[in-house]
Amino acid sequence: MATVTLKGVRKKYGRVEVIPPIDLEVPSGEFIALVGPSGSGKSTLLRIIAGLEEIDAGRIFVDGKDVTQTEPSDRDMAMVFQSYALYPHMTVAENMIFALRMRGTDPTEIARRLEAALKMLGMSEYANRRPGQLSGGQRQRVAMGRAIVRQPQVFLFDEPLSNLDAKLRAATRLELRALHDQLGATSVFVTHDQIEAMTMADRIVLLDGGRIQQIGTPREIYREPQNRFVASFIGSPEINMLRGMLASAAGRLTFEGLPLSESLQAAAGREVDLGIRPEHIRVWPDAAPDRWPFEVDAVEFTGHDAFLVGKTPAGRVTLRIDPDNDRGLADSVVAGQQLHVQLQERHILLFNPDTGVRITNG
């Protein structure tokens, strides 16, 4: 268990600044996910914490101890690589105990830890196989085992699930989180998959262009995004972003002809980006003053959900309907049909169209 602290950490490749000065604190025992699109610097940041990348400025602390100049192996961290990076010429057992051997750990202690880790991962019968003789999921377990036997203070995961098929990934997600809870170590997990981040992490650090866009619990990030990038990145299908005037006439607030309540008064009289998630739009067969006409372009049926994509006066939107609860709409709706939609006002998010920063009432 250890707290990892980054203070003013900065990284450049030549003239390109990939990580502008960044501050981050990962409290002891927390499972934190670094999320962002490719090129956002999340893997670089992880490798900086590991000590595999040198930094141009700033300091890194583990439990208050400055480890900026410490060798990767002396930081008491273990890393699971995206490609697993197993040693192909060693058996599963040799792979797992390599670090302990290098450290000169007592052989009986090595044997004890190896046995415990193999058992924990259900890999006991594969101890003498080579990585080449294992399936992708088994190799992933070996990579995990290699980290576990070291009993590190900090686990670093670099997209460890991205090479698994969808089914195995979902199962491994749960296992990995359970493992974290069981070991109680601090974990930093890099992923570009928002579902992984949302389901596993205590807190999410959302990165773009090396900058932290928001840090928060999955719920905060989803419900209270601080800017347009965060709102768009998290959520699938993506949040609907509609640009238009929030007009105020005769004490009534409207957005592209749609009356809105006073709660959005703060942004009255200016152009805004209005964000609304697909599940917060209700669809009706009949017109009403607080509804937009909606022409269906496409219907996407995924089993537990159905999504309608279509046009409103303010732009194109995607909305979700619940097939179990929609009065048969999901089965009857066809492309080209005319419907009406209503936005659930309390879920509307407004953003400054120039800066992308969220506009709040407070």
Partner 1 sequence: MTLRRTSGRVAANVLVWGYAGIILLPTLWVLSNAFKYKIDIITGATLSPVTWSNFEQLLFSRQSQFLWNLLNSAFVAVSSTAIVIVIATMAAFTLGRLRVPGWVRWPILGWALLFQMLPTLTFVGSWYVMWSAIGLHGTYVSVILTHVVHNLPMGLFLMLSFMFALPHEIFQAARMDGCSNSQMFWRVAFPLVRGGMIAATALIFIFSWSDFAIALTLTSPATMTAPVAIATFAQEYDIRYGEMAAGTLLSIVPALILILVGQRFIVRGLLAGAVK
Residue 86 or 349: the one with the smaller Cβ distance to partner 1 is 86
Identified binder of partner 1 from the candidate list 3, 73, 217, 337, rule CB under 8 A: 73
State the amino acid at position 108 in one-letter form. T
Residue 70 in the binding site for partner 1 (CB under 8 A):
no
Nearest Cα residue to 143 out of 101, 98, 81, 189: 81
**What mask of x and - would describe binding to partner 1 in positions 138 to 157, judged by CB under 8 A?**
-x------x-----------
Q: Is the dihedral of CA 166, 172, 178, 184 positive or negative?
A: negative
Rounded to the nearest whole angstrom, what is the least distance from the CB of residue 222 to partner 1 in the complex?
32
Rounded to the nearest whole angstrom, what is the least distance from the CB of residue 158 to partner 1 in the complex?
9
Residue 100 or 258: the one with the smaller Cβ distance to partner 1 is 100
CA distance 217 to 278: 21
Rounded to the nearest whole angstrom, what is the least distance from the CB of residue 281 to partner 1 in the complex?
41
Identified binder of partner 1 from the candidate list 8, 12, 65, 103, rule CB under 8 A: 103
Nearest Cα residue to 355 out of 213, 254, 236: 213
Neighbours of 160 (CB within 10 A): 26
Rounded to the nearest whole angstrom, what is the least distance from the CB of residue 54 to partner 1 in the complex?
9
Buried b (16+ CB within 10 A) or exposed e, 164-199: beeeebeebbeebbebbeebebbbbbbbbbbebbbe
- In the numeric block, the tokens 């709409």 are attached to 329
Rounded to the nearest whole angstrom, what is the least distance from the CB of residue 331 to partner 1 in the complex?
42
Residue 163 or 217: the one with the smaller Cβ distance to partner 1 is 163
Rounded to the nearest whole angstrom, what is the least distance from the CB of residue 47 to partner 1 in the complex?
8
In terms of C-beta density within 10 A (0-12 exposed, 13-18 middle, 19 or more buried), how is residue 81 classed? middle
Q: Looking at 99-107, 118-126, 205-213, 228-236, which segment touches partner 1 (CB under 8 A)? A: 99-107
Binders of partner 1: how many residues, by CB under 8 A? 32
**What mask of x and - would describe binding to partner 1 in positions 234 to 273, judged by CB under 8 A?**
----------------------------------------
Identified binder of partner 1 from the candidate list 19, 22, 34, 50, rule CB under 8 A: 50
Residues 121-140 that bind partner 1 (CB under 8 A): 130-134, 136, 139
Q: Looking at 85-93, 166-174, 225-233, 234-242, which segment touches partner 1 (CB under 8 A)? A: 85-93
Residue 348 in the binding site for partner 1 (CB under 8 A):
no
Q: Looking at 56-64, 83-91, 177-185, 323-331, which segment touches partner 1 (CB under 8 A)? A: 83-91
Rounded to the nearest whole angstrom, what is the least distance from the CB of residue 168 to partner 1 in the complex?
14
Structure tokens at 342: 């209503």
Rounded to the nearest whole angstrom, what is the least distance from the CB of residue 89 to partner 1 in the complex?
4
Structure tokens at 98: 């390599």
Residue 91 in the binding site for partner 1 (CB under 8 A):
no
Residues at the site binding partner 1, with contacts judged by CB under 8 A = 47, 50, 52, 71-74, 77-79, 81-89, 98-99, 102-103, 130-134, 136, 139, 146, 163
